[in-house]
Copies of this chain bind each other. A is one copy, B any other.
Amino acid sequence: MAQKPSIPKGTRDFTAEEMAKRNYIFDTIHDVFRLYGFRQIETPAMENLSTLMGKYGDEGDRLLFKILNSGDFLNGVDRSLIDNNETTRLAAKICEKGLRYDLTVPFARFVVQHRNDLQMPFKRFQIQPVWRADRPQKGRYREFYQCDADVVGSESLYSEVELLQLIDEVFARLGIRITIKVNNRKVLAGIAEVIGVPDKLVDITVAIDKIDKIGIDKVNDELAERGLSAGAIAALQPILAISGSLDERLDSLAGILAGNEIGQKGIEELRFVTRTTVALGLRAELDLDVSLARGLNYYTGTIIEVKARDVEIGSITGGGRYDNLTGVFGLPGLSGVGISFGADRIYDVLNSLDLYPAGTSAASKIIFANFGEKEALTSLKAIHALRKACIPAELYPDTAKMKKQIGYADAMNIPFVGIIGESEMADGTITLKDLTSGEQQQLTIDQLISRLS
């Protein structure tokens, strides 16, 4: 009984100080989503397993948290599944529900289920936790939040422009300097065609995605292993080597892809999106990266990835355009574009750069010392007035020694202590003690309110 309790591995408690920081991130993202006309939805933590299974590959199916059916869950279960230890099939019999693995599949399910009530284009955002039975490790959790925004039901590239502006605004507000890397699936398809291996698109992208990590030589080795001819690899080299400004690189790439229809379409899309976004004034660095190939099975147009410029860490936001969000639920051909903010990594970046604004704290602005019933009642009246002025304030609940009460304020990072003793009662004032400077001031309630506002 007296064993110290714990939580499941890979999950976290968030203390008040951590929550203050996390809320700062989530509130920032939330406010910008709303400013850009996205509408929040929420879906249940539990989905039917039939909704989730088969959407994330075999590995994903294994990583789903499954919820045991209530009551007599063995009723009607074929005992041979148990005798033969067929745990995967057995799990499907004794579990009807699972915890959501991401926000994309529940969103697709939502769109199909509510399609008659939705106006297209539908701009939604969603900020909720997801669960994966992954092996926990540094920076990888079994419960973590995703923050997704998508525009579905329109093929307009203005949606891409809007999302790039939105990314820029979120990180400008957070004070994180970023590079937004863009690419286009059509450009990748064009490259594969131009170097003569249209069927090797996936192999090419898997390999060149690693350039930053392993270098061009090892990428070329891998391309050879994956069956690319020496000629195809040689033809790829000038593409990987293009340099200059964004426009210069688009020009070089356009030259290389001249006459290739899909490649030119990709270049055109990239030109429109980047030109328009830059014309509207972007604070982030915008970069073309032909090695960018995330989510290739899914994305069909623009691909977006965001890196922090001042911290070594993986991508902190990513997204792209897709053309078949809901086909698996029987509603084919729905195009959209979406992005996902990586809240945990953004949290790490803000921590390592110490970028939280001064006010990011769970603490009240002031706590009043408690000297007994009469003084406490007068203090409570002052506290009531402060709260009316939207200043978080509280009374120390017990009549402990002054040293203990001050120590509590200090430990809680409450910057000010209000003191109403006999003399303050007599002249209707409050003594304000600034715990940072140690200074004391005698103030009326109005002066106190304007001092703390």
Contacts and interface: CB of A to CB of B under 8 A. Distances in A.
Contacts of A129: 45
Interface string A124-162: 100001010100000000110000000100111011011
Contacts of A96: 8
A321 interface: no
B330 A384 contact: no
Interface residues of A, number: 109
A185 interface: no
A76 to B, nearest CB: 12
Contact of A5 (B23, B112, B381, B408): B112
Given A40-B362, A42-B19, A158 B395 contact: yes
A1 B330 contact: yes
Interface in A363-419: 363-364, 367, 370, 376-377, 380-381, 384, 387, 390-395, 397-398, 408, 411-412
Contacts of A367: 37
A160 B367 CA distance: 17
A129 B45 CA distance: 9
A56 interface: no
A4 B109 CA distance: 9
Given A45-B129, A47-B8, A280-B384, A16 B1 contact: no
Interface stretch (A83-91, A197-205, A206-214, A254-262): A83-91
B85 A72 contact: yes
A384 B68 contact: no
B154 A392 contact: no
Contacts of A47: 7-8
Interface string A157-180: 011011001000100000000000
A121 interface: yes
A39 interface: yes
B87 A397 contact: no
B158 A35 contact: no
Nearest to A129: B45
Nearest to A43: B13
Contacts of A62: 70-71
A110 B18 CA distance: 14
A153 to B, nearest CB: 9
A45 B42 contact: no
B66 A39 contact: no
A124 to B, nearest CB: 7
A438 interface: no
A159 B142 CA distance: 37
A91 B67 CA distance: 11
Contact of A37 (B91, B281, B364): B364
Given A37-B364, A281-B384, 13 more contacts: A4-B330, A7-B46, A35-B391, A37-B393, A46-B131, A46-B143, A68-B95, A72-B85, A74-B87, A121-B397, A121-B398, A156-B397, A276-B377
